[in-house]
Amino acid sequence: LIQLAIPLNFIGFVYREIRQGLTDIEHMFDLLDVQAEVVDKPDAKELMIDKGAISFTDVHFAYDPARPILKGISIDVPAGKTVAVVGPSGAGKSTLSRLLYRFYDVQGGSITVDGQDVRDVTQKSLRAVIGMVPQDTVLFNDTIAYNIRYGRIEASDSDVEAAAEAAQIADFIRSLPEGFRAMVGERGLKLSGGEKQRVAIARTILKAPPILILDEATSALDTKTEQEIQAALDIVSRNRTTLVIAHRLSTVIHADEIIVLKDGVIAERGTHGELIDRDGLYASMWSRQREATQAEEQLKRVRESD
Ligand code: ATP
């Protein structure tokens, strides 16, 4: 029994790691042949997507019953609009995206897409309409073209190139000796965090889903990379229902609504202008981040003049 318990334990570990990373999970499940924790109801229906409106209603969730993470969260993301979630580290921002993608089920309240509870539909049909740009993309050990085409297997070479163009990664790919045929992943070319994220954006542009979840990388990016990624994200989120899990406030200024999450509840909500006028938590996060950016820029100028 012990001999069996160790590999099972290992599979459990791998499964938790994968789920945490929000990466190509279905593919990985196929590889590992592991049963997911969340299972479809026997009478689960296909999600009937209309315009892709999302509602979180009084959502409660805890990974560990002794430590509630979300305590009654209600958020509406109207079809085609962008809602950004900000807040201190560990506030539960990414947890919201994991619940929408249904890696876990809510323990109270509900999440609906176009009025259908995510627990009543098949996971396959739910995930088919959601494009996820995770914090950290795991690439397949294959060509860069394959990694982009994974968003829509039947896409032509010119579709793949157009998606790379829109994701601001085409010039970089063309600069590689083997171009789109360059091997990436663990056994190939190692891409930076920003490059991997743009491959994920290109993949999502090809998939063209009605709903998008953008989980920004926490890692610091240089200003140029950040601007390129922002430009790519603006293209992909245009006219799509978008939930942004934001770590940098510069990316949320244009959101239709900003939700400030703290200690499991919504501390503030409104547009950037409304929240600045309110002079509360968001306004203080904003001024702190601006000071940090200004200090960084000053430091850079001093270094450059040396
Ligand atoms: P950050 O800005 O640092 O990414 P976040 O607001 O996105 O943080 P979450 O990733 O949603 O935070 O995590 C919320 C809390 O839940 C954290 O305290 C985290 O430690 C905890 N948590 C996250 N995943 C798990 C898990 N699989 N098991 C147990 N606790 C978890």
Q: 245 CA distance to ligand 1 centroid (A)?
A: 12
Q: Atom 28 in ligand 1: which residue has the minimum CA distance?
A: 63
Cα of 281 from ligand 1 centre, angstroms: 20
* pLDDT tens figures, 47-59: 999 999 999 999 9
pTM of the predicted model over 0.90: no
Whether residue 287 has pLDDT greater than 80: yes
- Cα(167)–Cα(202) distance, integer angstroms: 5
Separation of 217 CA from ligand 1 center, angstroms? Answer: 14
Ligand 1 atom with least separation from CA of 245 = 7
Q: Which residues are CB-contacts of 68 (< 8 A; sequence separation ≥ 6)?
A: 60, 61, 62, 264
Task: Locate the ligand 1 atom nearest the alpha carbon of residue 261 and give its number.
Answer: 6
Kind of pairing, strands 82-86 and 257-262? parallel
Ligand 1 centroid to 90 CA: how many Å? 5
Residues with CB under 6 A from ligand 1: 20, 63-64, 69, 89-95, 218, 247
- Quote the CA–CA distance of 127 and 124 in Å, as a whole number: 5
Per-residue confidence at 31, pLDDT binned at 50, 70, 90? Answer: very low
Query: What is the chain's mean pLDDT, rounded?
Result: 86
Look-up of token digits 């100028």: 301
DSSP H/E element including 269:
strand 265-270
Summarised one tens digit per residue, pLDDT across range 168-179 is 899 999 999 999
Pairing of the two strands 54-61 and 211-215: unpaired
Q: Would the pLDDT of 30 be above 50?
A: no
Give me the pLDDT at residue 20, please. 47
Predicted pLDDT of residue 1: 55
CA of 174 to the centre of ligand 1 (A): 38
Q: Is 216 exposed, middle or buried (0-12, 13-18, 19+ CB in 10 A)?
A: buried
In contact, 82 and 242? CB cutoff 8 Å: yes
Whether 6 has a pLDDT exceeding 60, the answer reads no
Between strands 257-262 and 241-245, the pairing is unpaired
The C-alpha atoms of residue 88 and residue 169 are separated, in whole angstroms, by 31
From the alpha carbon of 20, which atom of ligand 1 is closest?
Answer: 27
Ligand 1: distance of its center to the CA of 94 in Å? 7
Which segments within 78-210 are labelled E, that is strand? 82-86, 108-113, 116-117, 130-133
Distance 265 CA to ligand 1 centre (A): 14
* Residue range 206-213: mean pLDDT, rounded: 93
Q: 233: Cβ–Cβ under 8 A, 6 or more apart, which residues?
A: 133, 201, 214, 251
Instruction: Report pLDDT for 241.
Output: 96
CA 17 – CA 9 distance, rounded (Å) = 12
- pLDDT of 8 reads 57
pLDDT, residue 10, reads: 55
Atom 2 of ligand 1, residue of closest alpha carbon: 89
pLDDT (tens digit per residue) in 83-120: 999 998 889 999 999 999 999 999 999 999 999 999 99
Which of 43-47, 55-59, 184-188, 222-226 has the lowest average pLDDT? 222-226
Q: From ligand 1's centre to the CA of 62, what distance in Å?
A: 10
Separation between Cα atoms, residue 235 and residue 150, nearest integer Å: 19
Rounded CA separation 131/233 (Å): 12
Q: Torsion over CA of 77, 227, 206 and 151, rounded to 10 degrees?
A: -90
Which of 16, 38, 93, 101 for a ligand 1 pocket mutation test, highest count of atoms within 8 Å of Cβ?
A: 93
The per-residue pLDDT for 67 is 94
- Whether the ipTM is more than 0.90: the answer is yes
Which of 15-19, 78-82, 264-268, 270-274 shows the lowest per-residue confidence on average (mean pLDDT)? Answer: 15-19
For 149-157, what is the mean pLDDT? Answer: 93
Spatial separation of the C-alpha atoms in residues 218 and 148, rounded to whole Å: 23
Backbone angles phi, psi at 132, to 5 degrees: -115, 120
Mean pLDDT of 27-31: 46
* pLDDT of the residue at 4: 56
Out of 95, 97, 107, 262, give the residue to mutate to test ligand 1, the one with the largest number of ligand atoms within 8 Å of its CB: 95
How long a stretch of residues is the chain?
Answer: 306
Do 47 and 120 meet the contact criterion of CB atoms below 8 Å apart?
no
Mean pLDDT of 59-72: 95
122-135 average pLDDT score: 92
